Amino acid sequence: MAQLFAAGEGAEVEIRLGDKTPAEGLPAPRPPLRLSGRVTALSDGRYRVAGPIYHGQELSMGRAAAFDTGAARIVIARPPRR
């Protein structure tokens, strides 16, 4: 996440994504995916719900980045620390 924010919107970068942290009850992590693409948006992750459930409530998914690989658009978020 820090790499994407440091690069900034519009930057072309290569990142390693996923499977970095072991989780109890799941298989051992594999090497992260290496992805190349463009940072298309950066956000503090706050949003207001527009749907019929929780309408109007403000939520936060933590810092977030939109990343476009050409084959897929990925939202990468880091939940806020408690």
Q: What is the pLDDT of residues 16-28, one digit of tens each?
A: 998 777 888 888 8
Q: What number is the average pLDDT over the span 64-76? A: 96
Q: Percent helix, strand and coil across the chain, each rounded to 5?
A: 5, 40, 50
pTM given for the model? 0.78
Give the Cα separation of 75 and 79 in Å (integer).
12
Has residue 12 got a pLDDT over 70? yes
